[in-house]
């Protein structure tokens, strides 16, 4: 998976990049390190919590504290 991978089947918050696409953590309510892992069908960048993201993607993207 790379930053241009299109990810489908997301909730509205996930599709807008406001929640983890793996565990659903709401980045507006919980401060958690996260990394970009792709895009939604609308073109928005989507993210996964560092703990949910595979190691090779985490190293490639670097952590983002939201």
Span 3-54, pLDDT tens digits: 578 999 999 999 999 999 999 999 999 999 999 999 999 999 999 998 876 6
pTM of the predicted structure, to 2 decimals: 0.77
Q: What span, in angstroms and rounded, lies between the C-alpha atoms of 21 and 19?
A: 6
Position with higher pLDDT, 31 vs 57: 31
Cβ atoms 49, 57 nearer than 8 A: no
* Contact residues for 22 (Cβ-Cβ < 8 A; gap 6+): 48, 49, 52, 53
């Amino acid at each position: 998976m790379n930053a241009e991978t299109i990810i489908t089947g997301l909730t509205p918050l996930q599709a807008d990049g406001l929640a983890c696409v793996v565990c659903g953590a709401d980045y507006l309510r919980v401060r958690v390190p996260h990394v970009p892992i792709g895009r939604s069908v609308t073109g928005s960048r989507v993210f996964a919590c560092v703990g949910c993201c595979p190691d090779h993607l985490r190293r490639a993207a670097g952590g983002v504290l939201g």
